[in-house]
Chain A
Amino acid sequence: MITSGIFLHPATWFIVGALLLPFAAKFKLQKALLIAVPVLAFIQIYALPADFGHVQYLGFDLIFGHKDKLSFVFLHVFTLMAVIGCIYGLKVEETEQHIAAFLYVAGSLGVTLAGDYLTIFIFWELMAFASTFLIWFRKRKRSIEAGYRYLMVHVAGGLILLAGIFLRYQNVHDLSFDRILVEGATMADYFILVGFALNAAVPPIHAWLPDAYPEATVAGAVFMCAFTTKTAVYVLARAFPGFEILMWAGAAMTLYGAGYATIENDGRRILAYHIISQVGYMVCAVGIGTEMAINGACAHAYAHILYKALLFMGVGAVLHQTGKSRLSELGGLYKYMPITLVLTVIGGISISGFPLTSGFVSKSMIVEAAGEHHQLGVMLMLLAAAVGTFLSVGLKLPYFIWYGGRQSDFEAQDPSWNMQLGMGIAAFMCIFIGCNPDYLYNMLPYAVEYQPYFGYHVSESLQMFAFTGLGFYFMIKKLTPKRFPASEHLTAHLEATDHGSHHAGPLMNLDFDWFYRKGALLFMWMAKNPLDALNELVSNVYQSIGCRMTMAIAKGSSWFDWHGIDGAIDGSARGVVSLGDKTRMHVTGNLQHYIGASVAALFVILAIVIFT
C-alpha cells in the first residue's frame, strides 16, 4: 500500500526527477525531463485520492497525502507554475539549478498535501534549503551573502515552527494539521503562526524577501516568487482562518509593500516588495476568515502566482538580456524587447486588477469580503494599496524600463523562444481567468455567489486606475530614479560635489533587515568572545559526531553504484565544488558543513520515513 502510495504523491515525481537530472544531462535528456516531470505532476493531481500515504513512524501518524478542495486549488497552481517555470528556465544549462528548483517544488507540494505538522515541517525545511541554492547559483558575492541571510532567517523561522509543534504535542498529543479556533489558541499555536507568518513575509519578519529575491538567478527568482509565500498562505488558510490579527497585519502589508515599491530602484526588488503587498491581501482574507474571504485568498493566490511569475519573467528577461535591473540604468527598451514589454504589461495590469484580467476577479473578492465583514478601514486600506500597485508595477516599472529613463543603446533583443513561451502561457492565463472567472471560481473551496463584473465595480476600477495615471503624469519627475555618472566620471563627480552632500552611487532603502545586518554586527562585537568559544565547542562536537554520521551514511549507501554515478554527475559535482570554494571565501567556521549535514540528515529521515 505504502509503496504504491509513494508514486501517487506528486512531490515524488520532482524528487525522483531531481535524482535523475544528472543522468539525463549526461544523455542530453535534461530538457525532456524538465518538461515531463511537471507535466506528469500536473496531470497526477487530478487522480489523487482524498487520503493516502499514512505512515506510522516512532508512534507518530505521518500523513503525506490529504487532499481536499482547499489543497487542490494550490496544488493546481503550483504544478502549473512548475510547468511554466521549467519552460522559462529550459535553456539554463546548470543541472544543479534545476535540481534545486525541483526539490523546492517538491517541498511546496509536500506541505500542501501534508496532513500533520511533522510532515509539514520536513517539507517546509526542504523548501528553505532548496530555494537557498537558487540564490547562491547566481554566484555573485552579494547573492552568496544574501543567500546566507535568507537561510539563517528561514532556519530561525523553522525553529520557531518546530518549537510550536513540540509545545502543541506536549499540550494536546495531536499533531494533525487542521483548523485552530481563535478561542482555543494557545502559546503553541501562536508559535506555529509566527513560523508560518515568517514565510508569508509579514512585517516585521519580511525583510528576507526583498533582500534575497532580487539576488537570485533569473529563473530561480521566477520559482521563488511563486512557492514560499503562497505555501505559507495555504497553511495559514487551513489552520488560522478568522484570526483577526492576520486581518490587520495583512492590510498593513498591502500598503507597506506598495509603499516601498514606490521608492525602490531595482526592478526585481520592486516586484519583491509587491509580493509582500499582494500576499497581504491573502493574509488579510485569511484573517477575515469568512467563506468568501477564504475563497478570495485562494483565488488571489492562484491569480497572483501567475501574474507575479510573469512579471518576474519579464524583468528577469531584461536582466538576462541587458545585465541590468536597476531602473536608473534602463530605458527605451521598447525598440529592442517589444514582446517582453507587452507580456510584462499584461502582468502589470493583472496585478493592478484591471477589468478582464485575473487580478480583477480575485482581488475584488477579498475587498468585497472585507466590506461584507463591515471592516471599512481594512477595505479602504486594500483599495489604497491597489492604487499603489498600479502606480509602481503598472506604470513606473514598465515606463522606466521600456520607455522613459536612460535612452542609451542596448545590444538587447527579446529573449529565447522558451522564455517567451513561459511568459506567453502566464499572460494567457491572466487574461483567460479575467475573461472566464468561473474557471477559477469552480476550483475554490466554497461555493461562489460572487460576480465580479457589474457596472459599479467596473466603473470604480476604471476611475481609480485612470486617475492614478493622472497622478503619475503629474509626479513623473519626482519618480524618475536618480542617474549617476558612469564610473569613469565618478571621481570627478565626487570632487565636484562636496563629499557626502550628494550620494555617489545608486541608492537603496533601509528595511528591517538592518537589525540583523547592522544591529547584529554590534551584537556580534559584544558577544564575540563567548560566541567564539561556543563555536569551537560546536565544531568539536560536530567533528566527533558529524563525521561518524557521514561515515555511517556512506556505508549505508554503498550498494549504490557510485562509479556509475560518478561519471554522470562529474560535471555538476565540479560545479558544486567550485561554488563551495566561492562561498567558503565569504564565511568562516563550519557553516556549510552544518548545512550539508542537515540536508543529508533530512534526506535520510525522509527516505527512512517513506520507504519503511
Chain B
Amino acid sequence: MGKIIEFMYRRKALFRWIFFGMLGAVVLYDFTVPRPHHPHFAGDSFYGFWSIWGLVICLAMIIFWKWLAHGFLERDEDYYDN
C-alpha cells in the first residue's frame, strides 16, 4: 500500500490530470441519467447542478468557518488552563 502511494506520488502530474478527467466524466455522466420524475426543486432538472453545489458549498464552508475561527473562536490550547 505504501508503495502504491509512493508510486502515485512520483507521478503527481499524471494523477492530477486523471482527477480532472474524472471531474469531466462525472459531469458528462449526469447528462446520461434520467431526471427524477418528481423533482424536489429547480436544481433537480439542471444538468451538472450538483457539481456546482459541491464546489460552491465546499469553498463557502472553508472560507466562512476559517473566518469565524480566525476572527472569533481561535485560542491557545491552554486557554482554559490559565
Give A residues with C-beta under 8 Å from B.
258-260, 262-263, 334-336, 338-339, 341-342, 371, 376, 379, 383-384, 387-388, 391, 403, 455-456, 458-475, 478-479, 503-511, 517-518
Contact = CB atoms under 8 A, between A and B. Distances in A.
Given A259-B64, A403-B5, A470-B23, A510 B73 contact: yes
Nearest to B1: A338
B54 A471 contact: yes
A505 B78 contact: yes
Contacts, number: 145
B79 to A, nearest CB: 7
Given A342-B1, A466-B23, A263 B54 contact: no
23 contacts: A259-B61, A259-B68, A334-B2, A338-B1, A376-B41, A383-B53, A384-B61, A387-B53, A387-B54, A391-B58, A455-B33, A460-B50, A463-B50, A464-B51, A466-B26, A466-B54, A467-B58, A468-B57, A471-B62, A472-B58, A478-B66, A505-B77, A507-B77
Given A334-B2, A455-B34, A459-B29, A467 B72 contact: no
B52 interface: yes
Q: Interface residues of B toward A: which range?
A: 35 or more
Contact of A459 (B2, B33, B55): B33
Contact of A465 (B35, B54, B64): B54
A470 B55 CA distance: 7
Interface in B27-52: 27, 29-30, 32-36, 40-41, 44, 48-52
Given A391-B62, A460-B50, A467-B23, A507 B75 contact: yes
A460 B74 CA distance: 35
B65 A469 contact: no
Query: Interface SS of chain A: helix, strand, loop or mixed?
Result: helix
A456 B34 contact: yes
B61 A391 contact: yes
B80 interface: yes
B80 A518 contact: yes
Contact of B61 (A387, A503, A504): A387
B26 A463 contact: yes
Interface in B1-40: 1-2, 5-6, 19, 22-23, 26-27, 29-30, 32-36, 40
A403 B6 CA distance: 10
Contacts of A388: 57-58, 61
Contacts of B41: 376
A462 B30 CA distance: 9
- Of B34, B62, B64, most buried by chain A (CB within 10 Å of CB) is B62
